[in-house]
Amino acid sequence: MDIKVKINNHTEPDLVIEEAQTNEPVLSTNPDQVEIDDSHDDLATQSKGCRQRSVNTSAEFGESPQQPPPAKSKARAARSSSHAGQHGAMSIRDQLDDLASRAKDGADRIIHVWRQGWRHTAHQGLPDWLKDNDFLVEGHRPQLGTFANCFRSIFRVHTETGNIWTHMLGCIAFTSMAVYFFSRPASQVRLQEKLVFSAFFFGAILCLGFSFLFHTVYCHSERIGRLFNKLDYCGIALLTMGSFVPWLYYGFYCRLVAKVVYLTLIGLLGTAAIVVSMFDEFAKPKFRPFRAGIFIMLGLSGVIPALHFVIADGFYHAVEHVSLGWLSLMAVLYITGAVIYAARFPERLFPGKFDIWLQSHQIFHVFVIVAAIVHFHGILRVANYRLTEGDCLSDDYVTEYS
């Protein structure tokens, strides 16, 4: 096959290029001056290769290219239409595959950012204000800097995971109990009883809620950590005070003077504990035993009214009708948890073995929740007995044991 390209120019020498054995024609700047040998149906079936053979200065005019036969044009159009249909179908499938691939890549990227947003830090690598328990060696959160990062860390495993979830679930449980209790009709629970029990629910929800928030945002910054640490200690004092209110109210139901004195005493002691908690020095690790001692003494202040009741009405009556046994169990649980917290057991004996689970603070949290549930059961029994007995018998009874 030969292809001749001839360019006619009246001012410059004409150029003639001959191509041989090629599958592609050399195009001219003027389509009227191109001559193509159409001895074969399709130029794409010819063998490849081209070679410049000669340069000639003669000027010749070429013939116009011939059109392909109509039958072959229809066949080619049919093939082109078939290919276009297949290409359209493939294009839709490709688009769907591309969308699926992009969605998967996006999900993988989110998971990667979620998991790799921060890395666990050893205790030695923490800033001083984040160092609390040096027996927890690995798995700490670094300073996260934003509340969003702190709350996202709830769903990751680290040294505070157990502390967060124990009191978060406890807060949800007591909130649900409070909603159920306060939603009872007056025929079941009178407004007076709702007000008395509100002190307990208020203290329990705030204590568990403040604790959950503290352990969540403690790593935000030093300033935020100190603020919520103080709220955490305030919550403990509020729970202690709120727990005493229903028991003292129903236990000394007919002893007005004793009831007022003991309620005032527990209020003053609880307020003192809150004031002490406001000092920054109080939150330092070296004062851990002192903190535990403050709240143990606050709880043990209930021993005085308990002895008063035993002396006045007898041990049996105190245990059977004033739930002294349940309240004693509550005190044992609170004190045991506080001692474990202060002693940092068991991680003190096995440093690095309880970094994530079963550390002393988590055990303390569980004891607090169980003790609060036991106390709630006890004050329900006291209230039920007192309301079943009815009003006080006489003014002499009140005066005698006031």
Query: Sign of the C-alpha dihedral, residues 179, 184, 185, 187?
Result: negative
How is 236-289 classified by DSSP, letter by letter?
HHHHHHHHHHHHHHHHTTT-HHHHHHHHHHHHHHHHHHHHHHTSGGGGSGGGHH
Q: 10 among the known binding-site residues? A: no
Residue 76: count other Cβ atoms within 10 Å of its Cβ.
Answer: 13
Query: Sign of the C-alpha dihedral, residues 290, 296, 299, 302?
Result: negative
Distances from the Cα of 391 to the Cα of 36, 100, 131, 190, angstroms: 121, 73, 55, 15
* Calpha distance 286→134 (Å, rounded): 12
Q: 112 among the known binding-site residues? A: no
Q: 215 among the known binding-site residues? A: yes
Can you say how many angstroms the Cα of residue 371 is from the centroid of all Cα atoms in its chain? 27
* Calpha distance 248→373 (Å, rounded): 18
Residue 147: count other Cβ atoms within 10 Å of its Cβ.
Answer: 12
Q: Which residues are annotated as a binding site for Zn(2+)?
A: 215, 361, 365
Q: Which residues are annotated as a binding site?
A: 215, 361, 365
